[in-house]
A and B are shown apart, each in its own frame.
Chain A
Amino acid sequence: MSLEAKSLTFRYRRRGQSPVLEGVNLTLEPGERVGLSAPSGRGKTTLCKLLAGYERPVQGTVLLDGRPLEQYKGACPVQMIWQHPETVLDPLLPLGVSLNEAGAVEERLLEELHIQPGWLTRYPQELSGGELQRFCIARALGPATRYLLCDEITAMLDLITQTQIWDFLLREAQRRNLGLLIVSHSAPLLERVCTRIQSLSPIP
């Protein structure tokens, strides 16, 4: 019962480039909150994309409960929350449509994330990054989700909003026994919220 990355190697498709990730191992248990920190450009986002199935590794596998991740059909149990919420919301759709596109999101989530009903009819370019990020979080917490990859999700937010969002996420993770992978440059944040911190070793 865990999300396992087994000796992942990945390179972006351009000839003669050295791999971004080489032989990376990582295990995430339900209820665990793993912090991941590494210098910029080290492949943190790439690792998240591999774990959530957006990219396929060149070598190695991502296993969910012992089964390869790509065998899971429908809503993926591993959801990634992106660093830039404005890129993952369709600019031509009202936020309410984007929010509920994979089935209705629970009313309780909207309340706890302080998403106001008036925002649902607005378009992404009308709201701020912090407001959009709440939609992305609510949308990622569908019933099938068991692991949540948070890729610098609060890096561009003010401290009060950061606190609100982390407070909510920790409560929700505990309630549903979610496994969290938290990527951040902020050491104090990781120390505060994580049960374990792993760092990507520098490129050999």
Chain B
Amino acid sequence: MRRLNQRQRALLLLLLAAAVLLAITLAGALLTGRAMETDFSRLNLAPDLPYLFGTDWMGRDMFARTLTGLSLSIRIGALTACVSAVIALVLGVAAALNRKLDAVFSWCIDLFLGIPHILLVMLISLAFGRGFLGVVAGVSLSHWPSLARLLRGEVLQLRQAPYLRLARKLGVPRRDLIRRHLLPHLLPQFLTGLILQFPHAILHEASVTFLGFGLSSEQPAIGVILSESMRYLTTGRWWLALFPGLALVGVVLLFAALGEQARRLLDPSSIHQ
């Protein structure tokens, strides 16, 4: 076999990670019915062939529940990561282009970064009445500051670039400057930041739900599964928490790998590797 170069390998890994995540999302969405199904003839089965992850105290298939939970988490993660990345882009670019806005936004960024994430997510989620809307609002409104700060710094630096100053002198209109020179340079940072926000968002969604400030308990979310399973751990039903927990870690790692490969592909200095 021909040896693949680093770019091709990165692309392959990226596609693989994306395919696995997409498969989990689709499978989970299709299995929602099975995940809610209770059957008292198969209570508390240890992991075995028909039920790979075992069953719980209501005879629900843990495999289906885990997949559904992950699927829900990924969808929430995707939504919140997109919302917060767009907030970051708009605020970061606006701050860098206007000195007065910069003072206000920088202060906001410092303020948000000063509060622990999980506390902020809990408070915002509570204020929005918990549930799906609460979680989405909480996570997306708390995750933009670090990316916004990064983009702001990038724009400030780009503004001083000789090619931008020269383009301005040539009479290129402002919106063309932003579209042609600024945005293409911001795209790698933006996309990488966006993908790397997925794991954060998923973990924080699971943790607020675990703590009871997020999704309601009838929804098969990973946080709900884990917090319910904690009550049964002491009675020896280890499989209820172990497999969903491992699966969550796996998904987060997959997203991190996805972000890392995307960064490698988009980074202009590594284009010839």
Contacts of A52 in B (CB 8 A): 169
* Interface 9-residue window, one of B134-142, B178-186, B192-200, B238-246: B178-186
Contact B166–A75 (Cβ < 8 Å): no
Q: Would you call B167 an interface residue if the criterion is a C-beta within 8 Å of the partner chain's C-beta atoms? A: yes
**Chain B residues positioned under 8 Å from A90 (CB to CB):** 163-164, 167, 180-181
Report the bound CA distance from A107 to B18 in whole Å.
47
- Taking a contact as CB atoms under 8 Å apart, the answer to whether A93 and B170 are in contact is no
Report whether over half of chain A's contact residues are helix, strand or loop; otherwise say mixed.
loop
Interface string of A76-120 (1 = CB under 8 A from B): 100110100001111111000110011000000000000000000
Binary flags per residue of B2-13, CB closer than 8 Å to A gives 1, else 0: 000000000000
Query: Is the C-beta of A168 less than 8 angstroms from some C-beta in chain B?
Result: no
Among candidates A53, A79, A88, A140, residue contacting B163 with C-beta atoms closer than 8 Å: A88
Most chain A CB within 10 A, of B161, B166, B171, B180, is at B166
Take A90-B181, A91-B268, A101-B176 as given contacts and tell me if A142 and B170 are in contact as well, using a CB distance cutoff of 8 Å: yes
CA distance A92 to B268 in the complex (A): 8
User: Contacting A139 at CB < 8 Å: which of B165, B170, B181, B185?
Assistant: B170
Query: Other CB < 8 Å A-B pairs besides A54-B169, A82-B162, 11 of them?
Result: A54-B165, A74-B171, A75-B169, A88-B166, A92-B185, A101-B167, A101-B180, A102-B172, A139-B170, A140-B170, A144-B171
- Asked, given contacts A101-B172, A101-B180, A102-B171, whether A82 binds B185 with beta carbons under 8 Å apart, the answer is no
Which chain A residues have a beta carbon within 8 Å of chain B's beta carbons?
A: 52-54, 74-76, 79-80, 82, 87-93, 97-98, 101-102, 139-140, 142, 144
Chain A residues within 8 Å of B166, by CB: 80, 82, 88
Q: Are B169 and A76 in contact (CB under 8 A)?
A: yes
Chain A residues whose C-beta falls within 8 Å of the C-beta of B181 in the assembled complex: 90, 93
- Complex-state Cα separation, A90 to B178, whole angstroms: 13
Taking CB atoms, residues of chain A closer than 8 Å to B172 are 101-102
Report, nearest first, the 10 A-B pairs whose CB atoms are least far apart.
A75-B171, A102-B170, A74-B171, A87-B162, A90-B163, A88-B162, A76-B169, A88-B166, A92-B184, A88-B163
Q: Which residues of A contact B165 (CB under 8 A)?
A: 54
Chain A nearest Cβ from B88, distance in angstroms: 21
CB A23 to nearest CB in B, in angstroms, measures 26
Closest chain B residue, CB of each to CB of A144: B171
Q: Tell me how far the C-beta of B170 lies from the nearest C-beta in chain A, rounded to whole angstroms.
A: 4
| Nearest neighbor of A84 in chain B, beta-carbon distance | B162
Chain A contacts for B167, CB-based, 8 A: 90, 101-102
